[in-house]
Structure 1
């Protein structure tokens, strides 16, 4: 059974970032593949939203990133603006 995003979050293998993309905290093959898949889907979603709203894709991604970091559940990891991982409480 393939690793899900929720499982990866709960296991501390990935974390949200302010860039709007998930980042791996574990370098195993399964986690790396999951991160690539999720980030590819997010990039496409951000591209579509940016085109619909006539704004830069990076702006959409950063706004989403802020929301995703804020919504992270206790115990999940987020990468702070200083680049360091922090476990939400």
Structure 2
């Protein structure tokens, strides 16, 4: 193997090991309302967002927002000495209630336009 082939192989190996850059929380927040109004994302009773249809951008937005929500729910649960699942359920109920007409919510495992 020549030096050039070794360098090429090393560069290829390095590029495959670099993780994809996740969407920042600010980017996700800025894109959230639009994605929800386009029907790409919906609120679930679990307190988290989920893609309504398979869409990479919607998945990335949900992941960034859900990570922040999970962190907040954990902090609230620890502060109040309750289970995270209780905080998630209350947050989910409030999010579903606050979802405007025309946007999606998950009910009984199905997406429903509110």
Distance 2:56 2:70 in 1: 21
TM-score of the superposed pair, with normalisation by structure 1: 0.92
Question: In 2, distance between residues paired with 1:8 and 1:36?
Answer: 13
> Aligned pairs, how many?
86
What secondary structure sits across from 1:31 in the alignment?
A: helix
* RMSD between superposed Cα atoms in Å: 1.1
CA distance in 1, matches of 2:93, 2:45: 5
Structure 1: 5+ residue stretches without partners: none
Q: Which runs of 4+ in 1 moved over 3 A?
A: none
Structure with the bigger RCO (C-alpha within 8 Å, sep 6+) is 1
Q: TM-score, normalised by structure 2?
A: 0.72
User: Which of the two has greater helix per residue?
Assistant: 2
Structure 2 spans left out of the alignment, 5+ residues = 1-26
